[in-house]
């Protein structure tokens, strides 16, 4: 007699452990993104890794075993319980024009953790529980200038933090129309410091240091709808739209303005505190956004789609103050090919994906910052579900992206590798003996 357990169980716990460890101790490496200084930081992709490989098209995407949190209307199509965990590895290169220089960084972060549940297999009714980061702040910028009467002045800008969402959502529908809603708590922190050091051969000046540390949180809501049109016996057209309501988050800020000395062995040594405030209450406005798209889908062989997303970043406010942010849009196109899901050839059962995105960045410094990327990836089945009654897939996504061009002072190039593990029914399969 032999006791058989699905191997996907061990894979699940490995990915879950890695996610929790990274959530508690994020691997910062040498991450340094000057653009993360603005707003709530650099946004993290808001799509499932499966969708990211197709350029991020997700407004009209729905699947019986995939949790598409970008549009909660897709939950209505869930027919099996699905655990979905994602990890991102980012490699970023910065290039500055004046003076010409280059800086490289890399880091590993969790992407999301979610649990999709079919509330009714006979009806289109499902729900999702999830946790994910939505932005990151991490930069360390050193700028030197010459001033009249002073040899030079050195500015050091540093920041770290991020924003997260914990949420639940439901989707309900019928044969053609689905609607869904996510509700949850958005929270995070921003820690900024600006240090000014005057350098002069004859006069000794004290350096100044300004520090702001803010924690914030508030409820958020997003919603979506999808409509399915039958084109032929095996081909359907699905239309989708989703949106996020503007969110007002309560914030508490500690601020310090001080003169300092700096010792390389000790760090910052306070000489005099010019001003200090604690628990200053205020609000942070996270703007609304929305997107619309379509997917033309052959039920077993292929799909193709496109969408456009808009975000009202000009409405962002931090304690009533705007930032160097503007309204932005992003266009996305993507496709998937599944050669033969019934084949005995493993690579014929792999889903191959590719896509592209383009549009202006939400940060504007003197001029518009263009950004675009190319994506590709695949979905690898772990084992054939005919043997285990499981639908377990390792999804991969590779992204090559660019931010800025030769007209911008700073250009970024990004290479991102994302891994997602989608496991279905592993908690509800009874152990078997043979």
The pLDDT score that the predictor gives to residue 8 is 46
- Looking at the structure, give the CATH architecture of the domain made up of residues 3-433: Beta Barrel (2.40)
The pLDDT score that the predictor gives to residue 4 is 40
How far out from the chain centre does Cα 230 lie? 33
The pLDDT of 394-404, averaged and rounded, is 93
The pLDDT score that the predictor gives to residue 99 is 67
Of residues 321 and 263, which shows the higher confidence score? 321
- On the question of pLDDT at 60 being above 50, the answer is yes
Q: What is the DSSP letter of 200?
A: -
Q: What is the residue-averaged pLDDT of the chain?
A: 85
Of residues 343 and 294, which shows the higher confidence score? 294
Specify the DSSP element, H or E, that contains 175. none
Confidence of residue 166 (pLDDT cuts 50, 70, 90): very high
Proportion of the chain above pLDDT 90, given as a percent: 53
The pLDDT score that the predictor gives to residue 144 is 76
**Which stretch of 50-64, 144-158, 181-195, 391-405 has the lowest confidence by average pLDDT?**
144-158
The pLDDT score that the predictor gives to residue 425 is 62
Of residues 326 and 434, which shows the higher confidence score? 326
Of residues 433 and 137, which shows the higher confidence score? 137
* Cα–Cα distance measured from residue 357 to residue 400, given in angstroms and rounded to the nearest whole number: 10
Residues 6+ apart with CB under 8 A from 342: 349
The pLDDT score that the predictor gives to residue 31 is 66
* Cα–Cα distance measured from residue 137 to residue 41, given in angstroms and rounded to the nearest whole number: 5
How far out from the chain centre does Cα 366 lie? 26
The pLDDT score that the predictor gives to residue 120 is 84
The pLDDT of 31-54, averaged and rounded, is 89
Q: Which tens digit of pLDDT belongs to each residue from 182-206?
A: 999 999 999 998 888 777 656 666 7
Confidence of residue 7 (pLDDT cuts 50, 70, 90): very low
pTM (2 decimals)?
A: 0.86
**108, 109, 135, 258, 280 from 165: Cα distances, Å:** 19, 15, 10, 34, 23
- On the question of pLDDT at 207 being above 50, the answer is yes
* Cα–Cα distance measured from residue 372 to residue 359, given in angstroms and rounded to the nearest whole number: 6
The pLDDT of 377-401, averaged and rounded, is 81
Q: Which tens digit of pLDDT belongs to each residue from 123-164?
A: 899 999 999 999 999 888 877 777 666 667 888 888 999 999
- What are the domain boundaries of the chain? 3-433
Of residues 300 and 96, which shows the higher confidence score? 300
* Cα–Cα distance measured from residue 339 to residue 358, given in angstroms and rounded to the nearest whole number: 28
Confidence of residue 27 (pLDDT cuts 50, 70, 90): very low
The pLDDT score that the predictor gives to residue 121 is 73
Cβ–Cβ < 8 Å for 345, 364: no
The pLDDT score that the predictor gives to residue 362 is 92
The pLDDT score that the predictor gives to residue 387 is 53
Confidence of residue 173 (pLDDT cuts 50, 70, 90): very high
């Amino acid at each position: 007699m032999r006791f058989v357990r699905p191997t996907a169980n061990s894979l699940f716990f490995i990915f879950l452990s890695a996610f929790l460890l990274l959530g508690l101790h994020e691997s910062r490496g040498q991450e340094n993104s000057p653009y993360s200084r603005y707003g709530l930081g650099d946004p993290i992709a808001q799509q499932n890794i499966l969708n990211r490989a197709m350029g991020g098209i997700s407004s009209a995407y729905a699947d019986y075993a995939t949790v598409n949190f970008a549009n909660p209307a897709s939950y209505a199509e869930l027919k099996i319980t699905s655990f979905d965990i994602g990890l991102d590895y980012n490699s970023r290169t910065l290039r500055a024009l004046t003076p010409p220089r280059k800086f490289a960084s890399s880091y590993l972060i969790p992407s999301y953790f979610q649990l999709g549940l079919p509330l009714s297999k006979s009806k289109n009714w499902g729900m999702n529980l999830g946790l994910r980061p939505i932005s990151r702040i991490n930069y360390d910028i050193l700028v030197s200038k010459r001033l009249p009467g002073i040899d030079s002045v050195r500015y050091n800008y540093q920041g770290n933090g991020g924003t997260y969402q914990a949420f639940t959502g439901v989707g309900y529908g019928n044969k053609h129309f689905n609607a869904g809603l996510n509700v949850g708590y958005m929270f995070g922190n921003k820690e900024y410091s600006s240090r000014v050091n005057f350098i002069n051969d004859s006069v000794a000046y004290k350096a100044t240091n300004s520090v702001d540390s803010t924690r914030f949180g508030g409820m958020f809501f997003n919603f979506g709808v999808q409509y399915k049109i039958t084109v032929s016996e095996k081909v359907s057209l699905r239309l989708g739209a989703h949106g996020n309501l503007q969110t007002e988050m309560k914030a508490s800020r500690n601020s310090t303005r001080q003169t300092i000395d700096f010792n390389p062995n000790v760090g910052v040594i306070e000489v005099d505190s010019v001003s200090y405030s604690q628990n200053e209450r205020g609000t942070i406005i996270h703007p609304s956004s929305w997107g619309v798209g379509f997917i033309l889908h052959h039920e077993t062989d292929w799909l193709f789609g496109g969408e456009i997303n808009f975000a009202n970043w000009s409405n962002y406010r931090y304690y009533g103050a705007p930032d160097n942010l503007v309204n932005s849009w992003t266009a996305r196109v993507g496709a998937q090919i599944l050669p033969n899901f019934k084949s005995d050839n493993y690579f014929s059962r792999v889903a191959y994906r590719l896509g592209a995105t383009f549009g202006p960045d939400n940060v504007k410094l003197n001029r518009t910052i263009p950004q675009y990327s190319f994506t590709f990836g695949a979905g690898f089945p772990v084992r054939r579900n005919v043997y285990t009654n499981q639908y377990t897939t390792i999804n991969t996504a590779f992204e090559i992206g660019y931010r800025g061009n030769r007209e911008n002072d700073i250009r970024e190039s990004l290479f991102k590798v994302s891994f997602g593990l989608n496991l279905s029914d592993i908690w509800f399969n009874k152990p078997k003996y043979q």
